[in-house]
Amino acid sequence: MKLNKKILFSACLIVLIMIAILTGYLVKNEPWRTDKDGFEITQFGTVTGSQCMFYTIRDKDGNLVVIDGGYTDDEASVANVINRFGGHVKSWILTHPHPDHIGAFNALYPKLSAYGITVDKIYVTDVNHDRYVETAKDYDAVNAYLDFLNVTKDAKNVKALKENDEFDLLPGLHMKVLHGWDKNVDATENNLCNNGSLMFKLTAKEESMLFCADTQHEMEKYIVGNHKDELKCDYVQCGHHGNWGLTPNFYKLTNAKAAFVDGPNYLYDSKDTNFDGYKTVDYFREAGARIYRLASNPNVITLK
C-alpha cells in the first residue's frame, strides 16, 4: 500500500511537472502574448510602401489595441497581424478618416467574422461632417470618410472622443486626449481632416508616448496653450508622418528620447525636394533621440 502511494505521488508529481513545462511552452509560443513588463508598442508599414499609420499595443494578458491601419490594400496584412495577436481587438483607435489611416479598417470591418476577428470598441475623432465635406480637397479623399460612415452605420460600439477625454485604455495604461476635431479646426479653410486628428498621450507606470496622428502646425498654438505641461513624453509619434506637420518648437516641448516617423525615407533624407520631413528628422538627430522609420518596420518598443 505504501508503495502504491509512492507510485501515485510520483506519477502525480510527474504530471504536474509536465503540465508546468507544457504551460510554459505554450505561453512562450503564444504570439498574442508578450512576457515583457509594460506595454509592447509596434509600428507597422504598408504594402504600398507609402506613408501610413498603423500601430498595435499589447500587454502581458494578451489585450490588443489597434491604431489606424493603413490603406484599403492593407486589409489582409492588418487582419494577419490581428490574428497573430489573438484575433480580439479590445480597442481600435481611428485618428482621422484619411485613406492611409482608415482604409484598411473600412475594408476589414464588414468581414470581421470571416477573418475570425472581434472588436470591442472603436474610438474616432468627432468629425464635423458638413465642414469636412464642404472644405475637402482632392487629397482629402473624402470618400474614405463616407465609406467609414457606411460600414459602421449599424455599429453600436463607435465613440467620438474630444479634448480632455481620459480613461484607462488598458489596465495600467492611461489615455488622455489632448486634441481632436473642435471649433478651432472648423475655423480653418484647409487641412481640416489632418488638423482634426486625435492627439493623445498614453501613460504607463514609468513612461509615456504621445501620438500626434496627422495634426499640423496650424493647431500648435491651441494645443500648447492648453496642454504645454502635458506634452513631455518618452516617445512621440510625429504629426503628419513627420512631414509638413508640427514644428521643431513643438517637439522640443516633448523632450522625447525617441521619435516615430510614418513615411518612406525620401520624405526625410533630402533637402532638394518639396518635403520638409528632414527638419523633423534633423531636430531629433541633433537632440540625440532615436528615430524609427517605416523602412525598418516592424519597430517595437516597450512602454514601461
Strand pairing category for 166-170 and 299-303: unpaired
> pLDDT band at residue 223, thresholds of 50, 70 and 90?
very high
122 vs 137, higher pLDDT: 122
- The pLDDT assigned to 23 comes to 38
pLDDT at 27: 38
pTM for the model stands at: 0.89
CA 291 – CA 303 distance, rounded (Å):
16
Query: What does the pLDDT average to over 272-297?
Result: 95
Residue 176, CA distances (Å) to 3, 102, 200, 282 in order: 64, 21, 5, 29
Please write the tens of the pLDDT for every residue from 251-276.
999 999 999 999 999 999 988 888 89
The predicted-structure confidence for 85-125, as pLDDT tens digits, reads as follows 999 999 999 999 999 999 999 999 999 999 999 999 999 99
Residue 133 near residue 169 (C-beta atoms within 8 A): no
Amino acid, res. 112 = L
9 confidence band (pLDDT: 50, 70, 90):
low
**% pLDDT > 70, the chain:** 88
Name which residue leads in pLDDT, 26 or 181: 181
**What is the mean pLDDT of the segment spanning 129-137?**
95
Q: How far apart are CA 162 and CA 205, in angstroms?
A: 24
